Every structure is written in C-alpha cells, then in structure tokens.
Chain A
C-alpha cells in the first residue's frame, strides 16, 4: 500500500522568509513523488516531481523539493516566500511498480504568506 502524509494543515510565514511545506510518504521501493499547488477556485497545477537521480528537484515559481530516502520525506521549500505563494499545496506519491494505480494525494497544506 502507498500513502502520503502532510502533517501540517496550515503553514504561516512572513514574506521574504524561507518556507517549508512538509510531506512524508510510505511506499515499497523507490517512489515517484509530486507537488501540486491550488489557487482559489482553480484546479491543481504541477510544481515539480521526483522520479530518480538528484535528490534536490527544482520546479516552477522558484520552488524546490528535497527527496530524503532515509526519512521518507519530500519537503517543499522556497528560499524567499512571496504573498502570491499563498495557496493550497498537495503532495502525491506513486510506486513505480503499481501498475495503473492512480497517484495518492495528501490532504493538503494551506500556506499563508503574510506581508
């Protein structure tokens, strides 16, 4: 079975400060990991994904995520937060040998960047 956890429902950060949105996963083997962002009244937008290779993945809008196999984590980071980063963020996971099984999404973390 595969699962993903986002331990924080809400993250608050001041504009200009670094931000981290946490994600941990449980899957057999090496996972496929994703981050998506959702702005109000919109669908989810792809930010970045990890399949294999470099543990630090760079994505859209200055976001990056670090894959840590020993801690089974894939935290989303940004060096300097913007007010426009305020949104709902979803982590997702899939085992590479899971056939056609859909992605498993976390419950989401609401990021609020305060000016």
Chain B
C-alpha cells in the first residue's frame, strides 16, 4: 500500500521543455527528499526538505528546483530539460528524529524520465 505517490510514472519530453515531477505523501512526514538514480546504479541526493518552507540542496541540485508549501507535497522542477536528465527520479519521506521513524525512509515508485 503506497503512502507516497509520484506522478507521472513515465515521461518522455523534448529538450528545452520545463517539467515538474510531483510527489505527495499522506503520512504527515516532516522530511522529504529527491534522489536521481540511473537504472541499477547508486542514488544521488538532489534536494531535501525538513518541513514547510525549508529546502536544502543535495549533491546534484544545480539544474533543478523544489518547493515545500505544504507538508504533503514536494514537487521537483527542471527548468530546461536536457538529454543528460534522462534518469529515474525517486521521492522519499521520513519522520523527524535521527532514526527516521519506524521505517526510516519511505520511497515512492519513481518517475522514469526520458529527454529526447
């Protein structure tokens, strides 16, 4: 049963387009995260948020932005998509506290983005 939802599941878009990847969670978690992952490869942290109106950059953030206006919603925007952005994007959330709550991070199913 999914408690964190990502849309769209798959997206093919042309170079130069602006896109927003949606992520919503119903668990009331304060913390949310965006990761980029090439298939079968390691995770790269793009952005994260501790709560409403707080966002921080990760290791791979320079070409994207995020907002956190509501606790449950953490969209990721690419202002101008490029073929190098082709990847899977994973959203996650966690409770406050170092242990991240009962399950640590809860991940969405991901958005697989292809930029042509």
A interface vs B, CB < 8 Å? 32, 34, 36, 41-46, 49, 51, 88, 90, 92, 94-98, 100, 102-103, 105-108, 110
Q: Does B109 contact A (CB under 8 A)?
A: yes
Q: Does B74 contact A (CB under 8 A)?
A: no
Contact B42 A108 (CB under 8 A): yes
B interface vs A, CB < 8 Å? 31, 33, 40-43, 45, 48, 50, 56, 58, 90, 92, 98-100, 103-110, 112
| Residues in A neighbouring B98, C-beta threshold 8 A | 32, 94-98
| Residues in B neighbouring A110, C-beta threshold 8 A | 40
| Residues in A neighbouring B58, C-beta threshold 8 A | 102
Residue among A45, A92, A96, A100 with most chain B CB within 10 A:
A100
Among A44, A51, A96, A108, contact of B105 (Cβ-Cβ < 8 Å)? A44
Given A100-B31, A107-B42, A108-B41, verify A43-B107 contact (CB < 8 Å): yes
